[in-house]
Amino acid sequence: MPATTAAEETQTGWLVLLCLAAWAVPGAGHLWLGRRSKGLIFLIALPLMFAIGLALHGRLFPFDLSEWLVCLAAVADVGIGLPYFIAKALGYGGGDVRAVTYEYGNAFLIVAGLLNLLVVIDAYDVALGRK
């Protein structure tokens, strides 16, 4: 196994920090890399999509390992980053199965998280010069 240089370790640390910022705040990675228009679009669209999911009485799923689909939905929900933790802290995301919009809300919440994870991967690719 070849030895890593200090420059490679610094770049790896920088990439990890970039990806963590991009995950925590949707669009932050692109803003950091100077892609302002994309970063602003992600910064507005993804949290708005998450908020719409909450407004439609969607549920932030718990990490329940006995039900794999519920656990996967929870991983997708956490994909949005800080908005997830803020919503949980404020008591949002309990879901209302009786609401006509419940399933739509779930879809918005899950898709917002998954899209943010794709945005993190895109920021990583931009940082490496692949895009």
In tens, the pLDDT along 36-48 reads: 999 999 999 999 9
pLDDT at residue 28, as a whole number: 98
Measured over the CA atoms of residue 119, residue 90, residue 107 and residue 59, the dihedral's sign is: positive
Q: How far is CA 30 from CA 20, 25, 67, 131, in A?
A: 12, 10, 35, 12
Indicate if the pLDDT at residue 100 is higher than 90: yes
76 HSE (CA, 13 A, CB side): 19
Q: Interior CA angle at 90 toward 89 and 92, to 5°?
A: 105
Sequence-ordered list of residues with C-beta below 8 angstroms from that of 93, at least 6 positions apart, any chain: 54, 58, 59, 60, 77, 87, 109
Percent of the chain clearing pLDDT 90 (strictly above): 90
pTM: 0.91
Q: Which tokens is 80 given?
A: 């949005």
